[in-house]
A and B are shown apart, each in its own frame.
Chain A
Amino acid sequence: MTGERIDLPQGTLDLLILRTVALEPQHGWAISERIQRISSDVLRIQQGSLYPALHRLERRGWIKAKWGASENNRRAKYYELTKSGWKQLEAEESAWRKLTAAVGQILETA
């Protein structure tokens, strides 16, 4: 619990989830752990928002879920990216890069 944590801007959670499951199928706990670890504990995701987001993305058809055995041989629900999920990820990624670039430019020059 070191370092400062920041709140996620609206809409970025979906992007982070899509990015995370793009590498390989993941279950919910692993997704939140991975985001936390990679962001060096800056981003911490509440279960209260993670699971509704997963269900929402599944409904949109961007990820799909299947049950499988986890690392410790327990049943776990794995989420993986679908074809339309890939497209969505690409679109959101490029939108995000454009946004951060633009915001960065303003912060530097203005």
Chain B
Amino acid sequence: MTKRLVSPSNVRTAVLLAGVAVLVSSCGWSLWDSPMTTVRPRSDFGKWIDEIFMLISWTTLVIFILVEAALVYACWRFRDRPGAPIPKQVHGHTVLEISWTIAFAVILLIIGIPTIRIIFKTQEAPAATDLRVDVAGKQWWWEFTYPEFKITTANELHIPVGRTAAFYLHAPDVIHSFWMPALGGKRDVVPHRINRIVLTPEVPGESVGQCAEYCGMSHANMRFRVIVHPKDEFEQWVKNQQAPPVESTDPLAQQGKALYTQSTCVGCHTITGISAGQIGPNLTHFGSRKSLAANMMANTPANVAKWIENPDHMKPGARMPNLGMTGEQSKALAAYLLSLK
């Protein structure tokens, strides 16, 4: 029999099993990790939601196992056997039926009471001391304004850890939904309404947010980065954003600056001290951002040049027109924009 143990078929089986085990464990290990995961909450808001989600998950899991087990058992136990007589014609059992109706009602009470508690807890009005961030959802990018610091930026949300932030959401075009999965639930951004999310980030770090309400062609590309800073780091970021952009002496960037000021760019974009357009994202500190086009790609010279040459090609339906910039021009513009740290 020992010879049999190392037979090719056994080896094949062992390899297959090991492969499956590795696959399963590797999936299991990383299943809940994602820059957009909802099950590793990093704020009070996210934790409250997770708390009630876990309560319901375990409750429903128990019900699920009981129901499916009863179904499988009934199918096995009462399968037709040859020559079996016609079963007893049972029409019902009133006591049993009333009891499980009540049981369901009680289970829902267990879920319903904490639900209502958390509904009210998560919709409390913001305090005057909270950090106010005005969020505008636009086809297909995000604008973040900090009235307290007089900063406007786009597609990169910076907030400090430990200080309650109050997001005031509005939309100039269609309905969007503002969602930072790692920090908690979403809230729709409705034209001509102000919606709010109030939360306190508890862990510094980066995560990813995205529009969650279908809002047209490039809905899939309406993403943003969320950076929760330690307190000092956030203050530094604020200072940097408040300062005017650093002028670069690089000749290519200078050429790009001239191009920017002379072209229609200025009609849509703001760069403090240079242009005051309101339609597109504020570019004052464009070079300080890590990603481009609502977190679609890395903010590199090549990507920025490609974007300027044909925005619609990189982001279908993009509202920024194709300005007919040639290779040299777009490179110069990219150099200039990326110099705006």
Pairing of A with B: no
- List the interface of chain B (C-beta within 8 A of A): none
